[in-house]
Structure 1
Amino acid sequence: MHIRSNARLAALVLAAPALAQAADLTLEVKNVQGTSGQILVALFNKAEGFPHTYWKTGEVVATPGVVKFVFTGIPEGTYAATAFHDQDNNKKLRTNGLGIPTEPLAFSNNAIGRNGPPAFSDASFKFTGTPQTVTLTLK
């Protein structure tokens, strides 16, 4: 009976889906101009609400050139990311009267949209649950 229970347990373990991996996801933000304000980053885990309804956010002091932000314990999956240089420290993306951003902005995959932000599918990337770096270039 004991052997049969162990065999049954082993079969259940082998049939169960693999446990999701979690790891650090680094966002490397390039083309930071100046030291005023901060770089705000956002991570999205679904298309619904993109790019306004984020899953996780972070911030780092603006330093000319390249800055990095690390999200820890991110499970494998499909994500998209944004970053913008909040030059006036108001925690909001400044836009003009037409709604066009006037602060430097970036999307993962350097995705761009027509007449607005890109689609999640254009900005998304696969995260395997192992340490990974995604580069975003402010424009």
Structure 2
Amino acid sequence: MLARFDPFREIASLRREIERLFDESLFRPELSDVASMPLDVYEEGDNLVVKASMPGLKPEEIKVEVRGDVLHIAGESKKEEEKKKRNYHLREHRYTRFERSVVLPAEVLVDKATATFENGVLTLTLPRSETPKAKAIPIQSKVGA
């Protein structure tokens, strides 16, 4: 028996295969060597506050930089020394690296910024730099010159 060609059935089949590939490869966190780092960025008075979850890291393993209006946070936990005498059945504690850059809604005064780290949460308080007030520029007409 011959089956009639149905392009819509073929497209649906292709779509299912593409979705399966995405589910199995791109979105599995264990395939990436950089862990996700959830961020909250909000305004509090004249400050921008950034909270970043970085579980398992120590303050000395975190690096924070601001260049212009871009905040870059990176962290790296040191790999535990592997002991040859252990026969692991499950091993999930390992080297972890976090990295994230975000464009801030305003430039900040880096010299006056503060950072605290408590219970795996990095909190940055970044005072906003004063934005210059708009100044009108008079326009001169050159009619009849």
Q: Name the TM tier (shorter chain).
A: under 0.3
Which structure would you say has the larger RCO, counting Cα contacts within 8 Å and 6 or more residues apart? 1
Higher Cα Rg: structure 1 or 2?
2
TM-score (norm: length of structure 2): 0.24
